[in-house]
A and B are shown apart, each in its own frame.
Chain A
Amino acid sequence: MALARKRYAIALGAGAVALAVAGGPALADSPKMGGVLNFVVGSKIPTYDGHRESTFGMIHPIRPFYSLLIRVNPENPQSTTDYLCDLCEGALPSPTDDGKTYTFAIRKDVKFHDGTPLTAHDIKATYDKIVFPAEGIISSRRPQYSMVDSVEVTDDYTVVFNLKYPSGAFIPALASPFNFVFAKKDLEREDPEGKDPLYGMKWHQTNINGTGAFTFVQHQPGAFVEGARYDGYHHEGKPYLDGFKAISAPKTAVRLNAIRGGEAAIEFRGFAPKQRDDLVGALGDGITVQESDWNCQLLISINHKKPPFDDVRVRQALMHAVDRWSASESLSKIAIVKTVAGIVFPSHGLAIDNDTLKTYVGFWPDIDKARDEARRLLKEAGAENLTFDLHNRTVDMPYRILGTWLIGEWKKIGVNVTQAGVATSEWYAKHRAGSHDLGIDANCQSVINPVADVGKYTSRSSNPANYSHYEDAELDSMHDQLLRSGDPAEQATIMRAFEKRVLNDEARYGMTLWWNKINPHRSYVKGWKIAPSHYLNQHLDQVWIDEG
């Protein structure tokens, strides 16, 4: 164990130095061409359609076949504001018309894998499907584009997005890794049997034709997906790899052993601290560890429909009882959580500073004082002998670990809680139905887009993802102002007021800790940089293999 930690420290230290000094492992050496990257994926592929799906089980094996209009800078994925053109040309366009019009020049040298040249019409057809889907077509991130009024093509290589109002959330939303650009002709395909008028819109659920760095070779369901280098790729000199093989391995132990045994080089979602230590302990310098804050957070949903949780004093008391600051140190040793922060991703410009956070309910640094206050509030609310169920998923990492931790924290103020673990489908169903007391809820996003991400805390009537089941017109109004504000200073002011109401004044939702992404991988994998989301930076065009 001690040896493993020491080796891990060396590996992580070396990685950190490389990242800080040389700008990352990829820049430390010249990329080499060739090789096949084998990686393991812990989830399944529901369909190939990125617009429809929300799982890394689809993104990791399928994203390399597609391009986006714009993407997070692959060399700087930790930045929350650095976006680059992928299928557009030059620098990102500045908005015109008081921030309501974005005009993109589309590259002229791009072809789909079937040889069809890409034009602005393909971009429009793609975004029309995402923003204005036909009835019967699922577009999972459609609400993020509420500011988009229309998408138009002014010539074959120019596409214009007209917004209803200026919004700082637009560009990050555009960079979503799920926004695969499809060919218009594929989206307009007709059903050979003449039965389904939406045949073309559904074609990508079972077929692949993109402009990404790799072409589709085969998919053996439940086993692997294979891709080969696309020689006509539009980013010159890339990709470096000859191909990739995404191996399906739902069990953590299998994924871990695949890397340990050399059958796979990397797993892009992340491992737990102990698994990282085991790999480093076993392989030493053969493993490089990259770590990052993760745009994922487990929340405490407090069902406002159920007394006594409709009483703000009870909600505040329950939040006061939880010692997040010390948990950051201890839980990060056993679970994929680490950073204490508010509702905005910790390193984003809109995130709260720690001094202010420490004045909020649930974040007081003096935990004894906080728990005294919790007991006082419970007594005042007549809820001293409170007992309830904590609705949770039967998923260990990190759901059950955090559930167990929270129950221990609440016990310290005399509240008795039973953990009610259920399968994922029931976890969603009960949360949606509002039949739980308190629950462990999740807010995991891809591109860091706080203005869109905090939509989670708006009223239930307009936001089905609100599992605390409250109505709060003031929060809705503030969120609407946030969406319409293009000025960062104004956004920050509104965000602070919004966050204070959610966490402190009304204790609508409880925070736990932000996730910590840990990616131990074979050291011969170069060029891949950890992003703050397991959905990001998965196009693999910058990855290369250095096997001497």
Chain B
Amino acid sequence: MAVTTGAYVSEEVFERPPLQTRLWAIVRAQPLGIAGAFIVLVMVLSALFAPFIAPYDPELNDFGAMLVPPGASHLLGTDEFGRDIFSRLVWGARTAMLVGFSCALLGSTIGLLIGVASAYFGGKFDILLQRVIDIFIAFPSIILALTIVTVLGTGTQNVIIAITIPLIPNCARVVRSSALAIREIPYVDAARALGFGHARIVLRHMAPNVMAPYLIMMTTFLGQAILAEAGLSFLGLGVQEPIPAWGLMLQGGAQEYAESAPWVPIFPGVAISLAVFGFNLFGDALRDLLDPKLRQQ
């Protein structure tokens, strides 16, 4: 009887509801996450289709239209070089996404590999690696990024490197804690007993099982990286003029014209806030969905 009941219950549990129902359930369970996903989607689409959306060349100086307020000819106004702010925001999304996704992907992936390897090998290797990570974590991320960009120089590529490096130890630390639990699961011992190499065990058997923290860290990093890029550009150490970048748009003239032409700093500021907000909401929702404990709640 007990067996029959068990079989019956088991059948009910593993029957997957239709996709539409599942999506609706997610929308109902994570409305803020959906809002975040929507913001992220808008940013991504802006970045992808910038040449078709932007009405003006974002780098075109037009001194006949300096500091024009928002209106019909320039939706969000122009800056001190007469450049269309809306066009620069749309193209700036491309810079933000490029830096954001590159840093998040690189930072979390390298962190994943280091974290899993550290947990898998354990012993002195683990202790040594964790102390190195401690050193990196001891520095505030932005200070570390500033130091790196000062050494490497400015430019998009160097900014990506500078932002990625501080992200790696954060992800490695989180992933390691998950991987430590996985290391004790018998299938890892089984893989070892079958004579698989370390690389195969780490990459094919352990890494896929820490995807949840990996994905959560990656989405969190996206917002952080966009914010860091904006910060570095704001300090004049990031992307250089005339490349459209949101942080850069807040630098220089934006401070000077904050009172007399408030549209110059307001719109890029809003774009940065929205992007970070969107990615954070999306990341939180993803964490709730992927974490079994939170999912049960």
Which residues of A pack against B, CB within 8 Å?
1, 4, 253, 272, 274-275, 277-278, 326-327, 329-331, 333-334, 394, 396, 400-401, 403-405, 407-409, 411, 418-423, 426
Contact = CB atoms under 8 A, between A and B. Distances in A.
B136 to A, nearest CB: 24
Contacts of B236: 394, 396, 400, 421
B257 A274 contact: yes
A9 B117 CA distance: 70
Contact of B59 (A394, A400, A411): A411
B65 to A, nearest CB: 10
Contacts of A405: 61, 81
A407 B59 contact: yes
Contacts of A426: 153
Interface string B62-81: 01001000000000000011
B291 interface: no
B4 to A, nearest CB: 73
11 contacts: A4-B260, A274-B256, A327-B63, A329-B63, A334-B253, A404-B61, A418-B243, A420-B155, A421-B154, A423-B150, A426-B153
A253 B59 CA distance: 28
Contacts of A253: 255
A408 B240 contact: no
B237 interface: yes
Interface of B: 59-61, 63, 66, 80-81, 150, 153-155, 236-237, 240-243, 251-253, 255-257, 259-261
Nearest to B240: A419
A326 B63 CA distance: 9
B153 A422 contact: yes
A394 B63 CA distance: 23
Nearest to B150: A423
A423 B150 CA distance: 8
A333 B261 CA distance: 14
B150 A404 contact: no
Contacts of A327: 63
A404 B63 contact: no
Contacts of B255: 253
A458 B155 CA distance: 33
A192 to B, nearest CB: 41
Contacts of A331: 63
Contact of B154 (A275, A277, A409, A422): A422
Nearest to B237: A394
Contacts of B243: 418
Given A330-B63, A411-B59, A272 B256 contact: yes
Main SS of the interface on chain A? Answer: helix
B239 to A, nearest CB: 10
Given A4-B260, A420-B153, A422-B153, 20 more contacts: A274-B256, A333-B66, A334-B66, A394-B237, A396-B251, A400-B241, A401-B252, A403-B241, A404-B242, A405-B81, A407-B241, A408-B61, A409-B61, A419-B240, A419-B241, A420-B154, A420-B155, A421-B236, A421-B241, A422-B154
Main SS of the interface on chain B? Answer: loop
B256 A421 contact: no
A183 B241 CA distance: 50
Contacts of B154: 394, 420-422
Closest CB pairs A-B (n = 8): A330-B63, A408-B61, A419-B240, A404-B241, A1-B260, A394-B236, A334-B80, A274-B256
Contact of B252 (A275, A329, A330, A396): A396
A421 to B, nearest CB: 5
A2 to B, nearest CB: 10
Nearest to B253: A334
A478 B154 CA distance: 40
A174 to B, nearest CB: 40
B260 A400 contact: no
A253 B81 CA distance: 22
Contacts of A409: 61
With a 10 A CB-CB cut-off, give which of B60, B66, B80 has the most chain A CB atoms: B80
Nearest to A393: B236
A203 B96 CA distance: 54
A123 to B, nearest CB: 45
Contacts of A423: 150
A272 B236 CA distance: 19
A395 to B, nearest CB: 8
A421 B240 contact: yes
Contacts of B242: 404, 407-408, 419
A185 B248 CA distance: 55
B241 A278 contact: no
A482 B254 CA distance: 46
A423 B237 CA distance: 9
Nearest to B235: A394
Contacts of A401: 252
A402 to B, nearest CB: 11
Nearest to B236: A394
A139 to B, nearest CB: 32
With a 10 A CB-CB cut-off, give which of A275, A330, A403 has the most chain B CB atoms: A330
Contacts of A330: 63, 66
A78 to B, nearest CB: 28
A186 B255 CA distance: 48
A275 B258 CA distance: 12
A544 B81 CA distance: 40
Nearest to B57: A411
A22 to B, nearest CB: 33
Contacts of B59: 407-408, 411
A398 to B, nearest CB: 11
A511 B259 CA distance: 33
B30 to A, nearest CB: 42
A408 B260 contact: no
B233 to A, nearest CB: 11
Contacts of B257: 274
Contacts of B253: 334
